[in-house]
Amino acid sequence: MGQKGSSGLFRAVSAFGVVGFVRFLEGYYIVLITKRRKMADIGGHAIYKIEDTNMIYIPNDSVRVTHPDEARYLRIFQNVDLSSNFYFSYSYDLSHSLQYNLTVLRMPLEMLKSETTQTRQESFDIFEDEGLITQGGSG
């Protein structure tokens, strides 16, 4: 199934990303993206469609308990077609709208400029009206 390297280890699978981890009754599985197709570019960020996935059991013999329903849960989960309408990007947040992402990209610079200008123009001491002395001077 895999390629053996000089270290004695072998490659079980090549993957483009991790969809996630799932746990049933006998332990954890990792779901990997094994085939992808580039669908679009948004502002220089590549958007990919998941074409195929592979689910691999993560062995942990110290806690593995055989359960009769494990195979049934595996079949049910594997009926979910992750290759239909599942998209991802390595550098672009697809969970938000384009408008939101553009706002967030601009926000730090605009907020920094805004806060600096505001601090210089509207600097005041909140204790000044109370006649209290602050650390920076007298009120």
Domain membership of residue 31 as a residue range: 17-94
In a domain, 117, yes or no: no
CB burial string 57-84: b at 16+ within 10 A, e below: eeeeeeeeeeeeebeeebeeeeeeeeee
In a domain, 136, yes or no: no
Please give the biggest Cα pair distance in the chain.
Answer: 79
- Closest CA relative to residue 16, chosen from 28, 34, 4: 34
pLDDT in tens, 5-53: 667 788 888 999 999 999 988 889 999 999 999 999 988 899 999 999 9
- Closest CA relative to residue 53, chosen from 80, 24, 71, 75: 80
Order of strands across the sheet that contains 28-42: 17-23, 28-42, 45-57, 87-88
Question: What are the distances in angstroms from CA 95 to CA 52, 85, 99, 114?
Answer: 21, 14, 12, 28
In a domain, 126, yes or no: no
Predicted pLDDT of residue 109: 59
Predicted pLDDT of residue 105: 66
pLDDT exceeds 70 at position 129 = no
In a domain, 137, yes or no: no
In a domain, 134, yes or no: no
Share of the chain above pLDDT 90, in %: 30
Share of the chain above pLDDT 70, in %: 68
Going by their DSSP bridges, the two strands 17-23 and 3-4 should be labelled as unpaired
In a domain, 76, yes or no: yes
Instruction: Tell me how many domains the chain contains.
Output: 1
pLDDT in tens, 66-81: 888 888 998 998 888 8
In a domain, 3, yes or no: no
pTM above 0.85, yes or no: no
In a domain, 120, yes or no: no
